[in-house]
Structure 1
Amino acid sequence: MDIAVLVHLAIAVIGIVLMIVWAKINPVVSIVAGALYLGVAAGLGFTESVEAVNVGFGNLMAEVGLIIGFGVMIGTTLSATGTMQRVVDGLLKLVGPKKSPYVLGLTSGIVFPSIYFDVALVILAPMAGTIAKRTGKSLATLAGSLAIGLEVGLLIVVPGVAAVAVAGPLGVDFGTMLIWGIPLGIFFIISSIFLHDLLMRKIFNPATDLDPHFDDSIFGESLEEERTRLMSHDAGDVAEATDIQAGSVAVETRTRQIPLLIAMLPVIVPILLIVLDTVTGILGQDIPLLGFLGSPVVALLVGLLIGIILAIPTVKRDGIDELITKGAQTSGSILLFTGVAGSLGQVITEVGIGDMLATLFQANAAIPVLLTWTVAAILRMAQGSASVAAITAAALLAPIMGSIDAPAILILLAAGTGAAFGAHVTDNTFWIFKQMLGFTTKGTFKIYTLAQSIFAVIGLAVCLLLELFL
């Protein structure tokens, strides 16, 4: 193994973090500079390093560019129609503000496991922001709940992409995954949110962790803003005024308000299409039309078209273009951050760091659970993708599953929880999370990185405990 390449990787990552956090250099510039340094220093060559940066950016944009753009635009239509506020207020009436982080985490991780993490994030991030704005609950806690829930849904719960992909090489059937994944997923989400909330109360500082230039209008109105607006309205325009009580919220009910289920169709329809396509694929059924409609880009486009139609009565036809333009402007910066993370990932791949780590750990299978978790964690920190980290870690152990004592489901859990550890600047969703929720880079480390790492450490403890009994 070429240890020097790993040293250069460490230098590149540390350098990127220092440029962003200490030197206050724009993250896009910092990541590209770090990627170019790694490529040249690791022997990829000057021309090849530049090409890898371009290829990585283009490949990731081809994969998630339209998904992110359409997802953000769906969010703007929901905000324009007031749908987010209605959903949030209904949720708060049902469970109360204190439990809203747990509801958000469990909904994103268990009810709608993250088939496509980026899709779920761009749809649900405004929900976290809206809950925070409507209740006064810390955005750090709610955003952390979302980060935890989505990660658990991706890595542990069926039909999360990584969970399903890891099950294949390990030979774990879906019935076993459901039996273990759902109850453990619930435990992981609740315990991780609880601990992260405790930490945020001590270390989260809005003055340094929130971006002062972020436009939070996408999150809708706060209670104070809504009350001010309602007081300026004619009494005849509102059937029921907002009723604000301690710990409860009731929203205005307009005489011509569409049913909430219909208002949520821009989100419900894409999710149903994607889930149906995934389920039929698992069952071995090839339905071309469903495969077309269930692809993330088409599904989100359908949702966006529905959102535009539903928004017309509110913003009128002339306001639709302005609405879509606002969504495009919001998604532009997200796409730029996401693309350069792909550039760094491409350089990491081309210098062969993933293969090096595989060789390093393949000969040490005596402690399979800890080994799997460690490999997944290192891969996540090195190249950014939780799915790639989990799948690679499981693949290392798959050939020797017959010769070790650890059950396959335990290796799957170790790979999944390890892959949640230490997400940072190499992870494109780190930047999506930052831009969509309005955190600084420092704040994103405290919330996105720390929240998912808490889940990873709890997961390791659970896996080591289960190893004693299985």
Structure 2
Amino acid sequence: MPLFIVALGIIVLLILIMKWNIHTFISLIIVAFLIALSLGMPLKNIVASIESGMGGTLGSIAFVFGLGAILGKLIANAGGAQRIAITLIEKFGEKQIQWAVVIASFILGIALFFEVGLVLLIPIVYQIAKQTKVSFLSLGLPMVAALSVTHGFLPPHPGPTVIAQEYNANIGMVLLYGIIVAIPTTFISGPFFARFAKKWAPTAFDKLESGSLAEIGEAKQFKLEETPGFGISAFTALFPVLLMMLSTIISLFQGDKSGFIFNFFTMVGSPTTVMLLSVLLAIYTMGLARNIPMKELMSAAESSIRSIAMMLLIIGAGGALKQVLIDGGVGDYVAILFDGSSISPIILAWLIAAVLRIAQGSATVAALTTAGLVIPLMAGSDVNLALMVLATGAGSLIASHVNDTGFWIIKESFGLTIKETFLTWTMLETVISVSGLAFILLLNIFV
């Protein structure tokens, strides 16, 4: 019954948005209330659940998106994004630029949180698309594929790191096997999938208008000699990556986990701190060092925030819907369905995570709930723990749709309709999940 209620709620949401043209933000809140009532949640808890879902979601990403938008705007307005785009095109050539975007996104994605990677890369990829006169989405899909794969499979991202701790898996082996699985999965779900997506969602690739995050990269075009050098532009854009990598390395090798040095670099390496320091650096390198007045820099910062304001509300509403599903016990119901199953632990971990992900939206919740369910099933078996981590992560990525905040982030970032988002992003996440499982099972034969 709970799964039927969720399915019915999703249908109502699609009717509200696509048939009756009610704004996405309002529609999400309406459906969150309807599902909460239908699941039998106590009336006194419904508003609190919706508010905590919205607050919890925005609390974790509002700083990152806000500061990331400012950083992207400063780099774009100074001509730094244009310089990076032109240099990449010259190095790889226009025919190979898609692969350049994939490789760059994969490398950056290892260190960057998914949301941070989006706000940093979308303005630059948008500039590349303008320079090469190719579809923005044909470069954007491979980019988000690389970011999603690294987010789901590779430590130090939160999902695989926490799951590894739950399974008592060696984090080094998770990273090693994760890279082996992630590389072919990225190529399949990135450049190869984009070719097919263009056939069944041509309107998504023909769009002339840009989405919320792409608008950050819409700046006046400069003569190349007027732009900052490639070195300083790349350093400013990559500064969050470098800072997160430094923090991660120091944290891994720091013996005293309660000491000042560990706590200091944990704070510095958090996404909010990283983005704040990166913005301060960009104010100097992309602004003051180029004799741009502070008033002009702050005007650009303000305009960048305005461009993502509605997107943040929509993402928050998506988080509210997700929280209602969690508090309404949808995950617990799915857990009961798989209780006592005798399927192979690797396939079972993927399957449970996949069903939980589709039912309640959160990849992290799906992964952690799965860990609690399959740990007893692993007792006495010789299953590879690192591969169990990867299988759980792969399952938790499948079929991102309207109850996942990532769905709304991609929709608003690229200016897609709901149908186009289903045909591109939802399918992309499914390809990542299924192909990831295939490579995990193949690797299981040899390790």
2:21 maps to 1:14: no
Please point out which of 131, 135, 148 is paired with 1:151.
Answer: 148
- Say which of 410, 416, 424 aligns to 1:433: 410
Q: Distance in 1 between matches of 2:13 and 2:194?
A: 28
| 1:6-40 Cα shifts (integer Å, max 9, x gaps) | 22112112322332234332111111111111111
Equivalences for 1:198-213 in 2 at 5 Å? 198-206=195-203, 210=207, 212=209
Q: Find the partner of 1:351 among 328, 336, 340.
A: 328
The reply on whether 1:303 has 2:253 as its aligned counterpart is: no
Q: 1:298 is matched by which residue type in structure 2?
A: T
Task: Select the residue among 245, 253, 259 that pairs with 2:225.
Answer: 253
Aligned counterparts of 1:203 and 1:211: Cα–Cα separation in 2 = 18
Q: Which segment is superposed worse, 413-422 or 280-289? A: 280-289
Match of 1:218 in 2: 216
Whether 2:33 is the aligned partner of 1:36: answer: yes
Q: Root-mean-square deviation (CA), in Å?
A: 2.4
84, 100, 108: which one pairs with 2:97? 100
Deviations 1:157-191 (A, max 9, x none): 23222121221122221331232121221111112
240, 243, 262: which is aligned to 1:273?
A: 243
1:452 is matched with 429
Please say which of residues 392-401 and 375-384 is displaced more in the overlay: 392-401
Distance 1:175 1:82, change over 3 A: same
- Cα distance, 1:104–1:39 mapped onto 2, change above 3 Å: same
Structure 2 counterparts to residues 385-424 of structure 1, below 5 A:
385-424=362-401
Q: What's the CA shift for 1:114?
A: 5.3
Instruction: Select between 157-166 and 97-106 the one with higher mean Cα deviation.
Output: 97-106
User: How many angstroms apart in 2 are the aligned matches of 1:314 and 1:382?
Assistant: 53
Cα distance change of structure 1 residues 107 and 434 upon mapping to structure 2, 3 Å threshold: same
Q: Which residue of 1 aligns with 2:175?
A: 178
Correspondence for 1:68: 65
Task: Map 1:125-140 onto structure 2 (within 5 A).
Answer: 125-140=122-137
Contact 2:111 2:244 in 1 (8 A): no
* Paired amino acid for 1:267: A
Identify if the C-alpha distance between structure 1 residues 386 and 141 changes in structure 2 by more than 3 Å, giving closer, same or farther: farther
Which letter maps to 1:439? L
**Gaps in structure 2 of 5+ consecutive residues:** none
Task: Give the conservation status (yes or no) of the 8 Å contact 2:353–2:395.
Answer: yes
Please list the CA deviations of residues 221-254 of structure 1 after superposition, one character each: whole Å capped at 9, or x if unmatched. Answer: 6xxx85xx76xxxxxxxxxxxxxxxxxxxxx223
TM-fit CA distance, 1:209: 7.4
Q: Alpha-carbon deviation of 1:80?
A: 0.5
Query: In the aligned structure 1, how far is the partner of 2:360 from the partner of 2:308?
Result: 23
Identity %: 28
Counterpart AA for 1:219: G
Q: How does the TM-score come out when normalised to structure 1? A: 0.86
| Cα distance in 1 for residues equivalent to 2:385 and 2:399 | 24
Deviations 1:57-96 (A, max 9, x none): 1122222211111111111101101111111111122222
Does residue 59 (structure 1) correspond to residue 53 (structure 2)? The answer is: no
Query: Shift of residue 155 of structure 1?
Result: 1.4
Q: Secondary structure at the match of 1:113?
A: helix
Summarize deviations over 1:327-349 as a string: whole Å, max 9, x none. 11012112101111111111111
SS at match of 1:366: coil
Structure 1 residue runs without a partner (length 5+):
231-251
8 A Cα contact 2:210 2:414, kept in partner: no
How far has the Cα of 1:462 moved from its partner? 2.3
CA deviation vs aligned residue, 1:292-344 (integer Å, no higher than 9, x gap): 32221121111111222222436433312210111110121121011111111
Verify the 8 A CA contact 1:108 1:153 in the aligned structure 2: no
Q: Matches of residues 232-381 of structure 1 in structure 2 within 5 Å?
A: 252-254=224-226, 258-283=228-253, 284=255, 285=257, 286=259, 287=261, 288-309=263-284, 310-312=286-288, 313=290, 315-381=292-358
Indicate the larger mover: 308-317 or 72-81: 308-317
Distance in 2 between residues matched to 1:208 and 1:75, nearest whole Å? 23
User: One-letter code of the match for 1:160?
Assistant: H
SS at match of 2:403: coil
- C-alpha change, 1:112 and 1:41, in structure 2 (3 Å) is closer
For 1:281, give the aligned amino acid: S
Contact 2:137–2:414 (8 Å) recurs in 1: no
Deviation, 1:275, is 2.6
Residue of structure 2 in register with 1:241 after alignment:
none
Letter in 2 for 1:168: Q
1:129 Cα shift?
1.8
Which stretch of structure 1 is more off in the superposition, 331-340 or 303-312? Answer: 303-312
Distance 1:207 1:181, change over 3 A: closer
Q: Give the aligned residue type for 2:238.
A: I
Total equivalences in the alignment: 439
Contact between 2:2 and 2:333, CA under 8 Å: does it hold in 1? no
Query: Helix, strand or coil for the counterpart of 1:253?
Result: helix
- Distance in 2, Cα, partners of 1:208 & 1:96: 21
CA distance in 1, matches of 2:267, 2:166: 27
Q: 1:253 to 1:344 in 2, by over 3 A?
A: same
